[in-house]
Structure 1
């Protein structure tokens, strides 16, 4: 069964000016239900997280500023959001949805969080619409609870996973792999275990060649027993922020290759959806839904 984390708070906790691109979360779920890819029993609404789980990843002083709504105006501007209790709750529930997704991935081979991919949040900062790093929190949860001993984070959002790289810079059990636009946000890059910076305008052929040349070798060398995949669709040529030139079919081929690597090696994978900022919401929803369709084809 394809399990997907979704909650209305993913959209309706955001300031009004930020809701339009995030309507995709509701539209993705509705489209997958319409197609019969999922049923109502596939969707689960995540709860809250205990602070001790958050503090496995984020520094206590930073978390307390979020929790108490005392983050400085400058630091709030860095996140892109005015801070509110509902916004913090949203981030907590997204992180819980990713942790719950790990348990479903152990059971079914794969699970999704329709949101997540908050990879710009570092151990003591928020940035780029990310306050808490959902996949980093989940990875540390797995390690602490001895559910995993070796983790690979595959970040194929168009933006470098700088927060994830910083969080795991001294953690040998987590290998961070990021393919991203070299001349795109964040303009100060952290050092992942493997970074592949891409020039503006890279299209399907070059992108897929680089992925196919690198990912199997990384998996073979690191031998992960769990994989996190950030499947951003801001790599599309239609994306107003991405600066790359992938087609929808190229993006689908990317997802298929990642999922085939996980499935053939019997490695459970949790997927968070990441960015997508094409002006036409249909382009975003179609590309994201292709990720689910491809997973359903390979795993079920």
Structure 2
């Protein structure tokens, strides 16, 4: 395994989910992203498959009756519609695999300074219900699990275009876990929750204003809380071409955003576990190109020349 690359966590099951034709969720993006990284020279052996989470593990954040109903396929149809996926054993197995993947990403980040998960960011899952394509909340689960192991403070820095409402409510009474969300104010969810740090940007927000908001927020949070780990949700649904985004952020600005987040944390010697978060362009190649900006930034700050192989 190349020592010039940060750990990359991936499992083939992330894209192995049968969905109805024209379903809104771009399930193929995980495989497409891994294939794109292989194409620029990332060795296949460098991708790590994490242990899947067990349903019992999720009791630290989710209600046992919800987890049991979801895993057994007995959750009522209305609740499944709120999640947005048809139930299948495949759906449950990939969800548990992804939850385990984010936790393992954090473990590797603590050991090596930076790690990136080719999934994750399921921030709309609440204590006893799921929403917005999110069954289980990997960010809250990872932060709570690490807290139980004595790691803290942990900062969840969420830059997905949609507010991390489930994360905010799940962790509202956890002073050692700081929730921060910079999102589009006039977008899903209609009812926002209260994170420790919330900024809802306007739909006409300029790219300069957006980057300035990200930089000032991160600088303040790192200074005030001095976290031992940052969980970074690098959602790309802020992109101007995203079907669900409503913002006007370019690929170049997303590249700058990811670079400044990773560099700011590295300058303060704070480990970062990054997840790719949301992105909903139907053009899979275009969507993959935007998600790749996180890896470009990660390779750059890790000192790998492969960052130059990714176009902005």
**Offset, 1:2:** 2.1
Match of 1:70 among 74, 88, 94: 74
Moved more, 119-128 or 43-52: 43-52
Matched, 1:159 2:185: no
Partner of 1:174: 177
Partner of 1:30: 35
Query: Structure 2: how far apart are the matches of 1:201 and 1:240?
Result: 16
**Offset, 1:172:** 0.4
Q: Which runs of 5+ in 1 are unaligned?
A: none
Matched, 1:113 2:114: no
Query: Structure 2: how far apart are the matches of 1:81 and 1:201?
Result: 31
Partner of 1:189: 192
Partner of 1:138: 142
**Offset, 1:48:** 2.2
Cα pair distance change 1:65/1:144, threshold 3 Å: same
The list of structure 1 runs, each at least 4 consecutive aligned residues, that deviate by more than 3 angstroms after superposition, is: 16-20
Q: Name the SS of the counterpart of 2:223 in structure 1.
A: helix
Partner of 1:2: 6
Give TM-score scaled by structure 1 length. 0.95
Match of 2:96 among 89, 92, 104: 92
Matched, 1:277 2:280: yes
Would the aligned equivalents of 1:25 and 1:115 in 2 still touch at CA under 8 Å? Answer: yes
Partner of 2:248: 245
Query: Structure 2: how far apart are the matches of 1:14 and 1:222?
Result: 42
Partner of 1:57: 61
Partner of 2:126: 122
**Offset, 1:50:** 2.9
Aligned pairs for 1:225-236 within 5 A: 225-236=228-239
Q: Which runs of 5+ in 2 are unaligned?
A: 304-312
Q: Name the SS of the counterpart of 2:192 in structure 1.
A: coil
**Offset, 1:47:** 2.7
Match of 1:258 among 253, 258, 261: 261
Query: Structure 2: how far apart are the matches of 1:16 and 1:46?
Result: 28
**Offset, 1:282:** 2.3
**Offset, 1:111:** 1.0
Query: Structure 1: how far apart are the matches of 2:287 and 2:66?
Result: 32
Query: Structure 2: how far apart are the matches of 1:124 and 1:275?
Result: 22
Would the aligned equivalents of 1:117 and 1:274 in 2 still touch at CA under 8 Å? Answer: yes
Give TM-score scaled by structure 2 length. 0.92
Matched, 1:206 2:209: yes
RMSD: 1.4
1:222-272 per-residue CA deviation (whole Å, 9 max, x = no partner) reads 110011000011101111110000111100111011001110111111111
Q: How many residues align?
A: 298
Would the aligned equivalents of 1:58 and 1:123 in 2 still touch at CA under 8 Å? Answer: yes
1:148-202 per-residue CA deviation (whole Å, 9 max, x = no partner) reads 1200000000000001001101110111110111110111111111110011132
Query: Structure 1: how far apart are the matches of 2:287 and 2:201?
Result: 21
Q: Name the SS of the counterpart of 2:175 in structure 1.
A: coil
**Offset, 1:280:** 2.5
